[in-house]
Structure 1
Amino acid sequence: MCGIVGIISRKPVADRLVDALKRLEYRGYDSAGVATLENGRLTRRRAEGKLSNLATLVGEQQLDGTIGIGHTRWATHGVPSVANAHPHATKRLALVHNGIIENYRELKAELETEGAVFESQTDTEIVAHLVTRELERGLPPKEAVQVVLARLEGAFSLAFLFDGEEELLIGARRGSPLAVGEGEGEMFLGSDGIALSPFTDTVRYLEEGDLAVLEHGRITIFDQHGAEVTRAVKRAGGKAFYVDKGNHRHFMQKEIYEQPEVLSHTLGAFVDMTTGRTRLPKDQAIDFSKVRRIALSACGTGFYAALVGRYYFERYARIPCDLDVASEFRYRESPLADVDLALFVSQSGETADTLASLRYAKGEGLATAAIVNVEESTIAREADHVFPTLAGPEIGVASTKAFTCQLMALAALAIKAGVDRGVILPEREIEFTRILAEAPRLANEAIRLEGAIEALSRKMATKKHALFLGRGFSYPLALEGALKLKEISYIHAEGYAAGELKHGPIALIDETMPVVVIAPHDRSFEKTASNVQEVAARGGEIVLFTDAKGAASGIVDGAELIVLPDMPEILTPIVYAIPLQLLAYHTAIQMGTDVDQPRNLAKSVTVE
């Protein structure tokens, strides 16, 4: 996750910008930079690598500006380099950006026909040129930004610094978080409260579509329709921001809302969005053309991510996969002679059963790889190859953003494997990577369904049991949705492949049994629709997660509908996971349980 910080002050800000960025190092980054106004003129300092490199540069080439912005970058578009580091600038402005601009290629082509020259490979730089064009046409800064925001597709947050404007910063968010704060004669903006904690305990979190204008002594916030609005002030001591929930009630809710941003950064580790080509993270090298079979293993939510991964690898790369719960893998004594890669999935990288399984695989002479969220973990250190999920710290015990980032990593790896094996041709690879780049925006649209899901949760909270059904990619989601519900609400829930309904679970159906069906209008939809009719015929209460085409099919009257946006099949596990998380979350709130720390559970299971 990239980091953003901005300061308006009466004293130099460069050193404090760098210090604030250090508090965002936990998000991961590969370069950093700051921009200030020196005598009204834009000046930048950027460095590849660690923040210490930027700090040294700022120390050697002193900046005295009293207004500025800073950024830590994790590469999505373009390699880590000084040229690709933020802030990006034109003669009129500098800006920093988190997220992905999905339609940047079209916008860049438009600008190039007008003579624009680009210095970087990033999607961010096109925003700088677009706003500059509006400024040259005579629009004031705020209006220029608003015009450009209306043309951008994707999930992102942005902060702007304007040449000659020594008392003006503008921030905007759509999908990625952004906060603004007030101090003694100073104004601040940042990715979260952690960045602002040294400076102020008065923070406002921008809501979806907000634009904030920061001036000396005043912060003015406009909603997505351009109306001036007030956002609630959150107050806390500086140290409290280290575990800050922002404007969310629980860490779990905050982490659900972070998914558009963290998905974009996970994608950036596996795809060069400039070329549309897949890649392996730095220093990793696997030739999937030589992989005959993959053994996948994990625990809990990670196991369900691995189950989706099996679908991905087998469908898109045509590599057969074995899948085991980690606690069974090493004791099953499966013959591994034709397995060329053992792949393990773990949020913490410390899960005892998963670690033991990795060591068993290594003992059998297999190449090992790990998809982990903590790159310094034991599993990451002991695996031959490490694939990071870049979800950032996940405080809530029930995994949310780590799960969807695991799915993103698995999807990108499967596409890379398909390319290596010649199953996916170059043109199709570019099509797939463009599809994956839509995930942050679609995740954001899924989050917007929270109101309808909260209303649904009031009914769910009155139940004692629930069934979750799905086919194909939706089967692992049925398992994960059931797990989430029982983890934090303590309602007994089971997930099944929809085709298994008649083989036992249908005996449970009556008018008191809610049946949650995950059914995007994909190749399995008609089969799932038949199962839904079977449930309806027995009086079951049906909750249907589908898309517009699925909803319009009218497969059953009286079903509770949660309608998600249309999307390619490869994205459905990632995006449909989010409303299932929200259903569990709000049901748990209705039940009055401890959402972030449910009874009997631990975040990292370090014993067998």
Structure 2
Amino acid sequence: MCGIVGYVGTSKSIEVLLGGLRRLEYRGYDSAGIAVIDENGDLQTRKRAGKLATLLGDLESNPLANGATGIGHTRWATHGGPTDGNAHPHLGDDGKLALIHNGIIENFSELKQELLSDGYVFDSETDTEVAAKLLGREYGRTKSLEQAFRNTVQRLEGAFTLLAVHRDEPGLVVGARRNSPLVIGLGDGENFLGSDVAAFVEFTRRAVAIGQDQMVAIRPDSVTVTDFLGAPVQADEFEVAWDASASEKGGWSSFMAKEITEGPDAVANTIRGRIVDGLVQLPDLDGIGDAALAGITRIVIVACGTASYSGILGKYAIESWSRVPVEVELAHEFRYREPVLDSTTLVISISQSGETMDTRMAVQYASEHGARVLSICNTQGATIPRESEAVIYTHAGPEVAVASTKAFLAQVAALYLFGLHLARVRGTLSDQVIAENCAELVAIPEKLTRVLESTDSIAQLAGWMADTRAVLFLGRHVGYPVALEGALKLKELAYIHAEGFAAGELKHGPIALIEPGQPVFVIVPSPIGQPELHKKVISNIKEIEARGARVLAIAEAGDAFVPPLADVVLPIPLAAPFFEPLLAVAPLQIFAMELATAKGLDVDQPRNLAKSVTVE
């Protein structure tokens, strides 16, 4: 969840570190700090609880001397509350060494007791300070930061990314990772480390991802990657597909507003080059191959939160098109129930960051038990794609706001591409039908743009509802996961009670929640595309209207049945059934954002949430 940046190069380390931390703010944090080996060879640190602005204000009033080597961190409190003392960096070797840490060190208690027995004194409640003191002790024995670091990480258990510097070895930053992301940025006379590429993309788009249980040492003119035992590792370089400007607001009121508007591009970029002559082409799947796909008898989609709702939409489409049974599992439940897997099972993981720990553990479990593994991910060089046999990268660009919007659309588009490809491999759809569905998908960006151009009424509606305490969402078939996503967005952003239901469940209990004035969003299927379901949803609307509910309908423009029954109608263009959700979800995303804004809340960084959940 936290942000990490490291730098060696010229005398601009403070600017690089603070710029990297600013671009990593989206990951969620409650304190920030930096450590710099300054031009005089002294190690200086500054850290403050609160947002990065607090640290910046401190540095402005009491500057640090700049230098060519440094590390920076934004912390999300785990061991110990968000205080100045618990913020990173933490010190070792009598203040000559600084260390920062993402993750959780599970055996910190026994290590701390060992150090206490040796006479060490601790200034914080964190597990991180234990690692810093342990590293300092090892440095005293080895007089080599690399060797001391290697000895230290071998003793740690849990999930961690660690970066460290030592006053006596300026021009060197060491890092290591286990179950937590770390990426190298390759520069000219300077090199970088980051918890993701946003940390350094302002300075270089050349990157190298570090693998599990690997360690890195960066100097201005060299990068060395080894395993924890010191054996050299061949690390592959890749180019970041976006530049620093893509992660800037660019005049928008929030990153979320910007990213919702980028939804059409996210879909267009994800399908670009993958639909050729009306048919799907996915060279991304070469790691599994058509022969293996033809033999798949079962698919399990593993994901968390918003990604799991994209998975439900994928389930409906893939089953319909390829006739392969599909299950959708919450990744954090998957391995604990000991599912039955074999080589004819395909596990599809979905993660925007590619570092979601719950999902990564599910992927590892699936691989260990003989299943084939495909990942859908938005982040190059991330861990989950590297640990999968094949990957379909979405091309949504950086998503900075914590609550996912455009990445959800790109994930659905990727799942639909896979479903149509699998249908061709299995021969369950004709080329003509596949081409018709591809044409529907290609048309989505333009239709979605039209939806986004007509949002004034949504902002007005949200303003009227700023004091609302609970909202319900109803949908059938592909409208059901849209209802779930609409409710989640409202919980995340506006901090009010919201629930999504399958509309058919209404009379099985939830109708008891309906009282006069209760707002209920209803996702109405097209009367042309799904006439039977349309009739049933209209009946649902009548049921709740009769009990005094305030009906807010998302319906096809021109649907004559809805306006007489609904208090508000948010129209969307006509689309085939499986493609309606890509249009229907946008008004719900906008509503959640506007309602949160009307309440004066931070839509980019909701309380208690982080963009990348890297602990299980």
TM-score of the two chains, using structure 1 as the length reference: 0.59
SS of the residue corresponding to residue 344 of structure 1 reads strand
Following the alignment from structure 1 to structure 2, what is the Cα–Cα distance between the partners of residues 536 and 529?
Answer: 10
Match of 1:279 among 269, 277, 281: 281
8 Å contact from structure 1 (residues 468, 494) kept in 2: yes
Partner of 1:320: 325
Match of 1:497 among 491, 499, 502: 502
Equivalent position amino acid for 2:579 in 1:
L
Return closer, same or farther for 1:300/1:558 CA change in 2, 3 Å cut-off: closer
What does 1:204-603 align with in structure 2 at a 5 Å threshold? 241=245, 243-272=247-276, 275-282=277-284, 283-287=286-290, 288-337=293-342, 339-521=344-526, 522-523=529-530, 524-550=533-559, 552-554=560-562, 556-603=564-611
Following the alignment from structure 1 to structure 2, what is the Cα–Cα distance between the partners of residues 539 and 462?
Answer: 18
SS of the residue corresponding to residue 495 of structure 1 reads strand
SS of the residue corresponding to residue 369 of structure 1 reads strand
Equivalent position amino acid for 1:588 in 2:
A
Equivalent position amino acid for 1:286 in 2:
G
Following the alignment from structure 1 to structure 2, what is the Cα–Cα distance between the partners of residues 338 and 380?
Answer: 19
Following the alignment from structure 1 to structure 2, what is the Cα–Cα distance between the partners of residues 410 and 560?
Answer: 32
Q: Which moved more, 1:332-341 or 1:580-589?
A: 332-341
Partner of 1:89: none
Following the alignment from structure 1 to structure 2, what is the Cα–Cα distance between the partners of residues 292 and 543?
Answer: 41
Following the alignment from structure 2 to structure 1, what is the Cα–Cα distance between the partners of residues 279 and 517?
Answer: 50
Offset at 1:270? 2.9
SS of the residue corresponding to residue 246 of structure 1 reads coil
What does 1:72-91 align with in structure 2 at a 5 Å threshold? none
8 Å contact from structure 1 (residues 289, 420) kept in 2: yes
8 Å contact from structure 1 (residues 533, 555) kept in 2: no
What does 1:114-153 align with in structure 2 at a 5 Å threshold? none
Equivalent position amino acid for 2:279 in 1:
R
TM-score of the two chains, using structure 2 as the length reference: 0.58
8 Å contact from structure 2 (residues 266, 409) kept in 1: no
Partner of 1:607: 615
8 Å contact from structure 2 (residues 341, 370) kept in 1: no
SS of the residue corresponding to residue 438 of structure 1 reads helix
User: Could you list the per-position Cα deviations for residues 85-107 of structure 1 after superposition, in whole angstroms to 9, with x for gaps in the alignment?
Assistant: xxxxxxxxxxxxxxxxxxxxxxx
User: Could you list the per-position Cα deviations for residues 133-153 of structure 1 after superposition, in whole angstroms to 9, with x for gaps in the alignment?
Assistant: xxxxxxxxxxxxxxxxxxxxx
SS of the residue corresponding to residue 310 of structure 2 reads helix
Offset at 1:571? 1.1
8 Å contact from structure 2 (residues 247, 399) kept in 1: no
SS of the residue corresponding to residue 604 of structure 1 reads coil
User: Could you list the per-position Cα deviations for residues 258-306 of structure 1 after superposition, in whole angstroms to 9, with x for gaps in the alignment?
Assistant: 111121110125322xx11101144444323221110111001001111
8 Å contact from structure 2 (residues 266, 397) kept in 1: yes
| Percent identity between the two aligned chains | 41
Q: Which moved more, 1:388-397 or 1:460-469?
A: 460-469
8 Å contact from structure 1 (residues 407, 573) kept in 2: no
8 Å contact from structure 1 (residues 294, 341) kept in 2: yes
User: Could you list the per-position Cα deviations for residues 486-523 of structure 1 after superposition, in whole angstroms to 9, with x for gaps in the alignment?
Assistant: 10111110000000011111111112310000113142
User: Could you list the per-position Cα deviations for residues 109-146 of structure 1 after superposition, in whole angstroms to 9, with x for gaps in the alignment?
Assistant: xxxxxxxxxxxxxxxxxxxxxxxxxxxxxxxxxxxxxx
Return closer, same or farther for 1:449/1:339 CA change in 2, 3 Å cut-off: farther
Following the alignment from structure 1 to structure 2, what is the Cα–Cα distance between the partners of residues 449 and 373?
Answer: 28
8 Å contact from structure 2 (residues 563, 569) kept in 1: no
Partner of 1:23: none
8 Å contact from structure 1 (residues 532, 555) kept in 2: no
Offset at 1:464? 0.3
Return closer, same or farther for 1:475/1:246 CA change in 2, 3 Å cut-off: same
SS of the residue corresponding to residue 515 of structure 2 reads coil
Return closer, same or farther for 1:583/1:426 CA change in 2, 3 Å cut-off: same
8 Å contact from structure 2 (residues 471, 520) kept in 1: yes
Equivalent position amino acid for 1:298 in 2:
A
Return closer, same or farther for 1:529/1:457 CA change in 2, 3 Å cut-off: same
Offset at 1:554? 3.9
Offset at 1:333? 1.2
Return closer, same or farther for 1:391/1:539 CA change in 2, 3 Å cut-off: same
User: Could you list the per-position Cα deviations for residues 339-370 of structure 1 after superposition, in whole angstroms to 9, with x for gaps in the alignment?
Assistant: 52100000000001000000000010111000
User: Could you list the per-position Cα deviations for residues 305-339 of structure 1 after superposition, in whole angstroms to 9, with x for gaps in the alignment?
Assistant: 11111101111111101211001000111222485
Structure 2 gaps of 5+ residues are 1-201, 204-242
Equivalent position amino acid for 2:289 in 1:
I
Following the alignment from structure 2 to structure 1, what is the Cα–Cα distance between the partners of residues 404 and 598?
Answer: 20
Equivalent position amino acid for 1:515 in 2:
V
* RMSD between aligned residues: 1.8
Equivalent position amino acid for 1:355 in 2:
R
Equivalent position amino acid for 2:264 in 1:
P
SS of the residue corresponding to residue 517 of structure 1 reads strand
Following the alignment from structure 2 to structure 1, what is the Cα–Cα distance between the partners of residues 599 and 581?
Answer: 27
SS of the residue corresponding to residue 345 of structure 1 reads strand
8 Å contact from structure 1 (residues 350, 604) kept in 2: yes
Partner of 2:173: none
Equivalent position amino acid for 2:548 in 1:
G
Following the alignment from structure 2 to structure 1, what is the Cα–Cα distance between the partners of residues 475 and 245?
Answer: 40
8 Å contact from structure 1 (residues 259, 401) kept in 2: yes
8 Å contact from structure 2 (residues 553, 566) kept in 1: no
Q: Flag the structure with larger Rg.
A: 2
